[in-house]
Amino acid sequence: MSDRRVPTDRRKESDRRVHPRLKSTSTVRFLRARAAADEILAAELLDVSHTGVRIRLETPLVCGECILIEVRDGARHCFNLPAEVVWEENGTADERHAGCELRVELNRRQFTLLQKLVVGAAR
C-alpha cells in the first residue's frame, strides 16, 4: 500500500493551460452562426492557443454561441477559426471580453501558420 500524498495543484485556473498562449493585438473579423451571412463584426484578438482564443469586442455574445473568427494577413492569407463562446465579461462601457473554445484543436503546423498571421497582422 502506498502512503504517498497527492500534491495539491496550487496554480490559478488561468495557469492550468496545457498549451501555451500567444499574445496578440490583431484586429480580426467574425461571423455569428445565427446572424445574417452579411453581418461581419470586428474584434481584437488578445491571445490564442491550440484550443482557444480570447477576444475584445463591442458586440455582446452569448455563452454557447458559435462564431467563425477570421484572421487575415493583408489580402494574401486568411485563417478561419470556428469557435464556441465559453465565457463573456464586461470591460468598460463599450468593451467586452470573450473566451472561445475552438471547435477543432489546432495541430502544430496550423498553430505556427496562425502565429505568423497574427504577428504579421500586428505590424
| pLDDT one-digit tens code per residue, 10-27 | 445 554 555 556 566 567
pLDDT at 109: 84
Cα(21)–Cα(81) distance, integer angstroms: 15
pLDDT at 21: 61
What are the structural domain ranges in the chain?
19-122
Half-sphere exposure of 83 (CA within 13 A, CB side): 30
DSSP-based three-state secondary structure for 117: helix
- Topology (CATH level 3) of domain 19-122: Thrombin, subunit H (2.40.10)
Global pTM? 0.70
Nearest Cα neighbor of 82 from 61, 62, 105, 59 is 105
Looking at the chain, the number of H-run helices and the number of E-run strands are 1, 6
pLDDT digits (tens, 9 = 90+) for 45-103: 888 888 888 998 988 888 999 998 888 766 677 778 899 999 999 877 788 999 999 99
Nearest Cα neighbor of 74 from 15, 122, 23 is 122
